[in-house]
Amino acid sequence: MRSKDIGFVAILWLIGGVACAQTPGGPDVLHATDAQPGHVMIVSGGGYDPETVRVIVHVPGTLTAERDALPDMIKAMADEFDGNHPAPPLEPPTEQTHTLTPLHASKRSVFVRLPAHPYPPGYTAIVWLKDGEQLSRPIFVNQPAAWFLLKTTSRPGEMNRLCGWNLRGDRYVPRYLFLRGAACFDHLTRCKTEPRMNTNRDE
C-alpha cells in the first residue's frame, strides 16, 4: 500500500499521557526532535552504551485506505474520550513497532531515521531507547498540541483559528477537529491547516 493511498492513522495518544517508569538502571531520555518519516530524529539522553543502544519506534493507531470512513472513525474515538489521557504502553507493542540501529550514537545523543512506508506524513510515534534488556521511559514525537484559539468567542458558522504544534495535515491525510461545547453539543469538522510563516508551527 503506497503512502498516498493511506487515509489516516487513528492515533490513540494525541495529547498528554502519563509516562511510565523506565527500567531501573536503564537509559535516560530527555528529549526527541520531531521529524518527518524518512528523516533523521535526534534522541537526547544518557545512561547507555553508544555501541549497543537501539531505538524502538511504535506507531499507535489503525492504518486505513477508506477515506470515506474517516469521519465516523474519528467521531467514535472522540465519543469515547472522557477527558483523561491514556498512558503510553508499559512495553513496546509487537505491531507497528520497529527496532532501529542508530545512524550515529554518542554518550548524549542518538541519531536515527524514522520509518516511512507505509505510514503517512507527520504521524505521531512513541519512542524508547533500549540497551540490552533495559528500556528508557517512552517519549512522544510529532505529537499534536493545541495552544489557543485566535478568538475567544465565535458565533455558529463563524471562522476561528486554532493555533498549536503539529496540527497540519496534507492532501492525503486530513486533520479533523472535534468540538465539545459547554452546552453538551458535539461537532466534527474537517480543518484547513496552514503552516505559520517561516516556522514549523501550524495553524
Distances from the Cα of 188 to the Cα of 16, 76, 88, 91, 111, angstroms: 21, 11, 26, 33, 38
Q: DSSP secondary structure string, 141-191?
A: ES--EEEEESSS---TT----EEEES----SSS--EEEEE-TTS-EEEEEP
For the chain, what is the mean pLDDT? 77
Q: What is the pLDDT of residue 202?
A: 43
Report how far residue 8's alpha carbon sits from residue 23's, in angstroms, rounded to the nearest whole number. 33
Q: Is the pLDDT at 63 greater than 90, yes or no?
A: no
Burial class of residue 120 in the structure, from the number of CB atoms within 10 Å of its CB (0-12 exposed, 13-18 middle, 19+ buried)? buried
Residue 25 confidence class, pLDDT cut points 50, 70, 90:
confident
Domains of the chain: 3-66+84-141 (2.60.40.10)
pLDDT tens digits for range 42-57: 999 999 999 999 999 9
Answering whether pTM is above 0.85, one says no
Q: What is the pLDDT of residue 187?
A: 56
Q: Which residue shows C-alpha cell 492504518?
A: 63
Backbone angles phi, psi at 68, to 5 degrees: -65, -20
pLDDT tens digits for range 141-168: 998 888 888 888 888 788 888 888 887 7
Classify residue 44 by its DSSP letter. E
Q: What is the pLDDT of residue 201?
A: 40
Q: Is the pLDDT at 192 greater than 60, yes or no?
A: no
Q: Is the pLDDT at 33 greater than 60, yes or no?
A: yes
Report how far residue 3's alpha carbon sits from residue 59's, in angstroms, rounded to the nearest whole number. 15
The residue among 64 and 5 whose pLDDT is bigger is 64
Q: What is the pLDDT of residue 174?
A: 67
Q: 5: left (phi > 0), else alpha (psi -120 to 50), else beta?
A: alpha
Percent of the chain clearing pLDDT 90 (strictly above) = 36
Q: Is-contact 56 123, C-beta < 8 A?
A: no
